[in-house]
Structure 1
Amino acid sequence: MANADGTWDCVTKTPMGDQKSVFTIVTNGDTFSGTNEGPAGAMEVQDGKVDGNTLTWTMKMKMPPITMEATATVDGDTLNGSAKVGPFGTMQMAGTRRA
């Protein structure tokens, strides 16, 4: 299992351009919790699961009100994945763990 705990500086490629956020991850066995804070506010991780070095979770966006389904792979201090955001499609995301 990869160590995903920590604070990550992330960028998600959206139709509105690159969106920066700070993703906080706290693992507990095969589950995790956390928040993703960006320009639109903070979103809580829901149903966070850890499977080896792969994380899966959902988050509820407030505006527009959409559930985002995400998956990411942790490799050392990098995180790469994607988020399916309703009618907006799938968006690529990448992150670097803060020291």
Structure 2
Amino acid sequence: MMSNLDGEWDCVVKSPLGEQKSTLTVKTDGDRFTGTNAGAMGSLDVLDGRVEGNTLSWKMDMKVPMAITLDCTATIDGDTLTGGVTAGAFGTSPMTGTRKA
């Protein structure tokens, strides 16, 4: 059974480098999930994806413009996603998203 978290999400992260738009793909399996986050700088795989209620948490290994591990969280409420992306010393950038039709 597909959960209400599954699907594609149009996301925007307000990062120190400006607004970063991407498409987050979520496929849950119990308390885990897999997927990708694809944007202008390429596609990153979801690593260590976890599901707790309607909140997702995961990591991504970014290579450009620098090599850094991103820690991400997102809470889904219906067709709306809110969360953040933490990039080490750069702190946490807010992330918002909407479900793709």
- Please indicate the TM-score interval, normalised by the length of the shorter structure: over 0.9
Counterpart of 1:67 in structure 2 is 69
**What pairs with 1:2-21 in structure 2 (closer than 5 Å)?**
3-21=4-22
Shift of residue 9 of structure 1?
A: 0.4
CA RMSD of aligned residues (A): 0.9
**What pairs with 1:74-85 in structure 2 (closer than 5 Å)?**
74-85=76-87
Shift of residue 87 of structure 1?
A: 2.1
**What pairs with 1:1-99 in structure 2 (closer than 5 Å)?**
3-63=4-64, 64-99=66-101
**For 1:52-97, what per-residue CA distance to the aligned partner results, in whole angstroms no more than 9, with x for missing partners?**
0111100000121100001110000111000111122110000100
**AA in 2 matched with 1:3:** N
Shift of residue 17 of structure 1?
A: 1.2
**TM (normalized to structure 2)?**
0.93
Query: Which ranges of 4 or more aligned residues in structure 1 deviate by more than 3 Å?
Result: none
Partner Cα distance (1:85, 1:39) in 2: 18
State the SS of the aligned residue for 1:87. Answer: helix
**TM (normalized to structure 1)?**
0.95
Identical counterparts, % of pairs: 56
**AA in 2 matched with 1:31:** R
**For 1:12-67, what per-residue CA distance to the aligned partner results, in whole angstroms no more than 9, with x for missing partners?**
00112111001100000110000000111000000000000111100000121100
State the SS of the aligned residue for 2:89. Answer: helix
Q: Unmatched 5+ residue regions in structure 1?
A: none
Partner Cα distance (2:90, 2:22) in 1: 18
